[in-house]
Amino acid sequence: MTELISLATSADSALAQAAKLLRQGSVVALPTDTVYGLAALANKERAIAKLFDLKQRPDSMPIAVLVSDVAQALAMTTEPSEPAQLLMQKFWPGPLTIVLPARSGLANAGGGLPEGAGDGLPRVAGGETVGVRCPDHNWVRKLAAEVGPLSATSANLHGGAPCATASEVAAMFAGHAELDDPDGIALIVDGGKLDAPASTVVSWEGEQLVVLREGSITEAQLQAALG
């Protein structure tokens, strides 16, 4: 069966085990500040492929990247515009995904990206852009600081409702335990019940802010922050 570790009793062990498995190219299910997610290292193309297969997500739909801080986000993108920086300052850490131009030559980028970090971009980035988010979850940010940016998507089958508990994740992906299936989930990190709305996703068309998905942060809040 897939290993399960509780943050309430074993946060340090969960961090060490998740880091080890992610570096090995495994998929890990973990809590965030919104719902449970499936995560893989952003430089592991095979691991990202596992993630897409588990979720049954179309290749044409890129996934976001969770980062530990603004510096790690900058390593994946070109210099953000002033409005993007304002939103980072106002809403990060938090449930806001910002779609930005992807930096070229990511394999040689610094700021916490491991060597070869551009390998997974076809499934992470949408064309020449990448969605980045700094979650309001201390443990997840520690994990990203330890291993590098995390390609992540909600823990559910494509089109279904996100999982709110570790037991729901285990039940949904019960046929894909990595001990029985090398393309399955290696670890589920139990962070309790989660039921926050999904992150808000924004991008820009020229200088115009575009809300691609409105979550717990409203368009009115975004516009107010931008003045």
Q: Given this model, what pLDDT does residue 109 score?
A: 36
Q: What is the pLDDT of residues 72-113, one digit of tens each?
A: 998 888 878 899 999 999 999 999 999 998 876 543 333 344
| pLDDT tops 50 at residue 211 | yes
| pLDDT tops 80 at residue 115 | no
Mean pLDDT over residues 156-170, rounded? 92
Domains contained in the chain, number: 1
The tokens 């809403």 sit on which residue? 91
Mean pLDDT over residues 38-46, rounded? 90
Q: What is the pLDDT of residues 116-153, one digit of tens each?
A: 444 444 455 555 788 999 999 999 999 999 999 999 99
CA distance 121 to 183: 20
**Structure token digits, residue 11:** 């946060």
How many degrees, rounded to 5, is the angle at CA 68 between CA 82 and CA 53? Answer: 105
Contact 152, 37 (CB under 8 A): yes
Q: Given this model, what pLDDT does residue 184 score?
A: 82
Per the structure, the complete domain to which residue 64 belongs is given by 3-226
Contact 49, 149 (CB under 8 A): no
Give the chain's mean pLDDT: 86
CA distance 61 to 166: 25
| CATH code of the domain containing 41 | 3.90.870.10
Longest dimension (CA), the chain: 53
| pLDDT tops 60 at residue 177 | no
Mean pLDDT over residues 30-42, rounded? 95
| pLDDT tops 60 at residue 38 | yes
Q: Given this model, what pLDDT does residue 113 score?
A: 47
**Please, which pLDDT band fits residue 28 given cuts at 50, 70 and 90?**
very high
Give the closest residue to 32 by CA, choosing from 175, 215, 219, 226. Answer: 215
**Please, which pLDDT band fits residue 60 given cuts at 50, 70 and 90?**
confident
CA distance 169 to 107: 32
Q: Given this model, what pLDDT does residue 46 score?
A: 87
